[in-house]
Amino acid sequence: MPSLQPITDPSPRKPPKSMVWLALLAWTGLISIVSLPDIHAIRGEGVEHATLVANAYLDKDLSVRRWLASHGGVYVRPNERTTPNPYLKVPQRDVVTTSGMALTLMNPAYATRQLMEEFAAANGIRGHLTSLKLRNPNNAPDPWERQALQRFEQGDKKVAALTNINGAETLRLIRPVYMEKSCMSCHEDMDIPVGGVRGGISVQVPMAPFREEMEDHMTLLAWTHGGIWLLGVFAIGVMSRRSRQRLTSLLRSEDTQVRNERRIAAALSLSERIEQLSEREIIQEGIEEAQLLTNSRVAYFHFINEDQRSIELVAWSHSTLENCRAVEERHYPIEQAGIWVDCARLRQPVVHNDYLHATGRRGLPEGHAPIRRHLGVPVLEGGLIRAIAGVGNKEAPYDDDDVRLLQLHAIDIWKLIQRKRSDSRLRASERLLKEAQQMARMGSWAFDPGSRHFEWSEEVFRICGQAPETFQPDLDNVLALIAPEHHGEITDHLKTIGQHGVCSTQFRILLPTGESRQVQVRGQIVASPDGKSERVVGTVLDITEHQEVESLRRSEADLSALIENTDRIVWSVDTELRVVIRNSAFAELSIDLFGYELMPGDSAVMEGETEWRKHYERALAGEKFVIEMQLAGPAGQPRWMDFSFCPIRNSHGRVTGVTVFGRDFTERMATEAAQQQTLDNMSRMVAELEAHHRQNTLLHRLNDLIQSCSNEDEAHVIVRVTLSELFPGISGGLALPRAHGLESAVVWGDEAGLASLFQADDCWALRQGQMIEVVDPANDLVCKHFETIPLHGYLCLPLVVHGDMIGLMHLAYPPKLEQKDRENLRELLRSAGETIKLSLSNLRMREAMREQATHDQLTGLFNRRYQDETLPRELHRALREKQTLTVAMLDIDHFKRFNDSYGHEAGDQVLREIGRVLRENLRRSDIACRYGGEELSVIMPASNTEDARHRLETICQLIRGMAINFHRSMLPPVTVSVGIAQAPDQGQDATELMRAADTALYAAKAAGRDRIEVYAGETN
């Protein structure tokens, strides 16, 4: 027999850890490499933005200085801060107006310096005018500025550097200031020609705000690439798991084959040893093998009785009995058994991989071995369940292979039991025939006319007093045993037996001891199909003891007088099942049993009746036993009786009849019935409690499942499945509010139930705001929202949360429903409604919040946040699948002018209409977003610039042709400018691609607007 090594570990083998770690390392390296350009770009963005700000600041200051120079300065009233410039040597520096107001002239440098000081105090950005040729020593350059001014003398146009000022990182930028013609009036004496370097203007920009912006970008980059990295790790884990599953499946297949070979080998071994084994030993070895085949710790095999309502406990495995001290009845009804007999109730295999929490579990008796898992299978034959086999406490859950193996093994055991019983019945028949011949003192014989030889049974040898080992029963030897006076008669019978059919005669035989016996011989001829005689068969009956029977019958009268005075029902039958004696109590019983009084000599069994015949034959076989049965009394009430069957033996120990003693114990059974009724009531209460617990469990599970749904459609499926289980055999439905009324969203059961669409006024429950019940639809006021009105009544329950209608629940009553059952259904429907309405309300709230978080409320398009999350993901997918991806930036032409002319409300209407055009005319895979203000963006996966340009030209044409009615007047047409960039050719990351599309958009605007431009590279 092959050794069995089943799979007990749910993950028996795993791919080498080194391969998994290598894949993770490679993936991490790839993400790191992809991230480096983004990190470098982000790090440079802060300095670039700060440089742009610094240049803008300098441009502003230079423009102010140039304007002041073009006007020769500006006169202001002097004050403490603005005193006359002592370094300004011009004739009209200080003047007095005709009204007597004193004014002083501020040259461009003096005015520009004061503006820089004001701006530095307000924004922290400090500017400084300086020169190597000074009039005002306060404008002297610091060392850094001095080096920059010297570089300007050598031809440099700009000097910038990152420095540390007072512990803070600062960008310093200085640009040259050239001598202009307008400056010569004040600085003619400095010998600097027009166009020469007069000095420099510098700015100090703190880097802290720009570094914070860079850190935000770095955080976003980390989240984006970290999410991509986690997705890759998840994919690696999935592939590893699939590999593990394939290996598990292969090992399970190999294990199943080995176990199946072992099962076949075990069946063959038992079949070869069936003659040496008893039925109990066959069953015991079978269940031990079943326990090994399924790798279990518990195993059993029990019979189902012919009535299919009771079970006979037969055998348990040794390990089961070692851990079980519970006392079990050998016979009891199936309905009282636990869920371990569900395979007999359902007529199919049943698996409980979580036995402790299985539905319908009744618990285990004290001392029973704990059960964690259980597998039970029925054995069916001829449409009846003959036996059940089960195993339990496997370390891993039972699977289909375990079910199949146990089912086949149980069938093998049953077939071996049937074979053993057939062999036993055959041997028992032979033994019974032999014993019957001995008890009846009757033997059988056969005679072959051709060979003149007899075949005798053992009883014939015994009757004749001969030994089978020494006596040869041929015709001459047999005639020698017969008394001489019967020889002629026997010879005549042998000659004429074929003419008279069955022939019977009596004669005397001589025994070796000198004694003689009287025998009765019967015989008939057995002919071949062609009518020729083949052989003669018959019986030999020893009638020597016939006188003993006659003597027994003479003593019956004395015995009758004795039994008549007992308080028991007494009667006896002979070997032919005829009544020999009986008392008057039996006469009354026979009337109840047969409808008439049985007299001595009558057959004790009616024709076709088998039960009493079996009892009599059992007693005639020498067994003493007691049976109990229920009879109908004179008034039809049940009457319980027990009967003791006692064999009657003669002086030689031979059974010659049966005596039966009967006793009425109806009163005791009535007491037991009352006790059983009490137990039944308690069981019913327990069943109600279990049903209530099951309902609460289902409602909790319903709430948990709905809370885990991502949308309402998933919740509808969960509600339908759970309510079908919560209301088995009962139809119902759930209607939810829609734009045009209430729509039937969930239906369970067989009846049509709610109409697919109806109005709230069609339901009286919604009108009244409370549950309504209709018991008699034919006479009660019924709702109008049914396709077919429920015949047996119904319930309607409105679902309302904080004054908002969530929906309507409907339940159709099944036929023949009691008042208590209706009350239970009302409470259960109310509990289910509370759970569903709160769960659906929370789910809708979550969906609304998710919609608000990803969509722009005005245009109905996705918002900037959704684009920032989606574009890197789509771009990564396109790069991975080696496809193109196109990004378009759209800007409404002259939108600020439009808002100024028609108002922001009209501008909002334009944005809504453009959003509608985009939603209706883009592909389902395209992603349209509101980028900000009047700027929109479109992500087009699997699309090149030509495809994108073609679609966007159609959209631009539709936008030009929009007729927008605003406050009963038509708004003027609007146009958009579009810039297109394609990945990976024009950018391999989101920022680079969006910058390229934005550059193309500016090119479209610069080219005159209302056009589409494709990114063609950076331009100065």
pLDDT in tens, 875-901: 999 999 999 999 999 999 988 888 888
Residues 6+ apart with CB under 8 A from 842: 707
- What helix, strand, coil percent values describe the chain, rounded to 5? 45, 25, 30
For position 602, what pLDDT does the model report? 86
Mean pLDDT score, 605-625? 87
Sign of the dihedral defined by the CA atoms of residues 361, 365, 371, 372, in that order: positive
For position 189, what pLDDT does the model report? 62
pLDDT in tens, 196-238: 777 888 888 887 787 777 777 778 878 887 888 888 888 888 8
| Share of residues in the chain with pLDDT > 90 (%) | 15
Give residue for tokens 């789509």.
Answer: 874
Whether the Cβ atoms of residue 169 and residue 102 lie closer than 8 Å to each other: no
For position 363, what pLDDT does the model report? 66
Q: Is residue 75 pLDDT above 80, yes or no?
A: yes
Mean pLDDT score, 704-725? 79
Mean pLDDT score, 135-142? 78
DSSP designation for 261 = H
CA 556 to the chain's CA centroid: 77
Alpha carbon distance 435, 445 (integer Å): 16
pLDDT in tens, 931-944: 888 899 999 999 99
Query: 167 — alpha (psi -120 to 50), left (phi > 0) or beta?
Result: left
- 410 vs 447, more confident: 410
Structure tokens at 414: 């049953």
Residue 187 pLDDT grade (very low, low, confident, very high; cuts 50, 70, 90): low
Mean pLDDT score, 293-306? 91
For position 6, what pLDDT does the model report? 43
Long-range contact pairs involving 645-648 (C-beta distance under 8 Å, separation at least 24): 645/615, 645/616, 645/618, 645/619, 646/619, 647/619, 647/620, 647/622, 647/623, 648/572
Alpha carbon distance 299, 318 (integer Å): 9
Mean pLDDT score, 775-791? 87
Q: Is residue 532 pLDDT above 70, yes or no?
A: no
Q: Which of 489, 517, 515 has its CA nearest to residue 504?
A: 489
Whether the Cβ atoms of residue 746 and residue 716 lie closer than 8 Å to each other: yes
What SS3 state is found at 315?
strand
Q: Which of 110-114, 325-329, 350-354 has the lowest mean pLDDT?
A: 325-329
For position 326, what pLDDT does the model report? 63
Give residue for tokens 């994919």.
Answer: 235
For the chain, the average pLDDT equals 82
Mean pLDDT score, 171-195? 73
- 123 vs 657, more confident: 657
Q: Is residue 1002 pLDDT above 90, yes or no?
A: yes
Give residue for tokens 């310096």.
Answer: 113
Q: Is residue 4 pLDDT above 60, yes or no?
A: no
Whether the Cβ atoms of residue 999 and residue 1018 lie closer than 8 Å to each other: yes
For position 142, what pLDDT does the model report? 83
Q: Is residue 7 pLDDT above 50, yes or no?
A: no
Q: Which of 296-310, 505-519, 527-541, 733-747 has the lowest mean pLDDT?
A: 527-541
Whether the Cβ atoms of residue 792 and residue 798 lie closer than 8 Å to each other: no
Mean pLDDT score, 527-555? 69
Alpha carbon distance 761, 784 (integer Å): 9
What SS3 state is found at 78?
coil
Q: Which of 871, 1011, 1018 has its CA nearest to residue 937?
A: 871
pLDDT in tens, 654-690: 988 999 988 888 777 778 778 888 788 887 777 777 7
Mean pLDDT score, 146-172? 82
Q: Which of 210, 214, 65 has its CA nearest to residue 124?
A: 210
Alpha carbon distance 832, 703 (integer Å): 9
Whether the Cβ atoms of residue 898 and residue 910 lie closer than 8 Å to each other: yes
For position 601, what pLDDT does the model report? 84
Q: Is residue 38 pLDDT above 80, yes or no?
A: no
Say if strands 569-574 and 533-542 run parallel, antiparallel, or are unpaired.
Answer: unpaired
| Strand partners of residue 521 | 505, 540
Mean pLDDT score, 116-144? 78
Torsion of CA 229, 232, 238, 240, to 10 degrees: -100
Q: Is residue 13 pLDDT above 60, yes or no?
A: no
Mean pLDDT score, 606-610? 80
Q: Which of 277-291, 719-733, 944-958 has the lowest mean pLDDT?
A: 719-733
Q: Is residue 454 pLDDT above 80, yes or no?
A: yes
Long-range contact pairs involving 181-190 (C-beta distance under 8 Å, separation at least 24): 182/66, 182/69, 182/70, 182/72, 183/69, 183/108, 185/72, 185/90, 186/73, 186/88, 186/90, 186/107, 190/133
Q: Is the bond preceding 378 in cis, omega lying within 30 degrees of 0?
A: no
Q: Which of 318-322, 434-438, 899-903 has the lowest mean pLDDT?
A: 434-438
What SS3 state is found at 512?
coil
For position 548, what pLDDT does the model report? 55
What are the structural domains, with CATH classification, of the chain? 27-72+107-213 (3.30.450), 275-427 (3.30.450.40), 441-541 (3.30.450.20), 551-664 (3.30.450.20), 688-850 (3.30.450.40), 855-1014 (3.30.70.270)
| Separation in Å, CA 795 to CA 744, 748, 764, 821, 823 | 16, 15, 11, 13, 11
Q: Which of 562, 475, 477, 487 has its CA nearest to residue 512?
A: 477
Residue 184 pLDDT grade (very low, low, confident, very high; cuts 50, 70, 90): low
| Share of residues in the chain with pLDDT > 70 (%) | 90
- 952 vs 686, more confident: 952
Say if strands 102-106 and 74-76 run parallel, antiparallel, or are unpaired.
Answer: antiparallel
For position 437, what pLDDT does the model report? 67
Mean pLDDT score, 790-805? 87
pLDDT in tens, 560-583: 677 777 778 888 889 888 988 888
Whether the Cβ atoms of residue 805 and residue 766 lie closer than 8 Å to each other: yes
H or E segment and range at residue 921? helix 904-921
Q: Is residue 1020 pLDDT above 50, yes or no?
A: no
Planar angle of CA 616, 617, 618, nearest 5 degrees: 90
Q: What is the Cβ-side half-sphere exposure of residue 224, based on CA atoms within 13 angstroms?
A: 25
Mean pLDDT score, 20-38? 81
For position 889, what pLDDT does the model report? 93
Q: Is residue 10 pLDDT above 50, yes or no?
A: no
Q: What is the Cβ-side half-sphere exposure of residue 276, based on CA atoms within 13 angstroms?
A: 5
Alpha carbon distance 44, 36 (integer Å): 12
Q: Is the pTM of this model over 0.85?
A: no
Alpha carbon distance 230, 237 (integer Å): 10
Residue 348 pLDDT grade (very low, low, confident, very high; cuts 50, 70, 90): very high
Mean pLDDT score, 261-282? 88
Mean pLDDT score, 968-975? 87
Residue 11 pLDDT grade (very low, low, confident, very high; cuts 50, 70, 90): very low
What SS3 state is found at 482?
strand
Mean pLDDT score, 70-82? 81
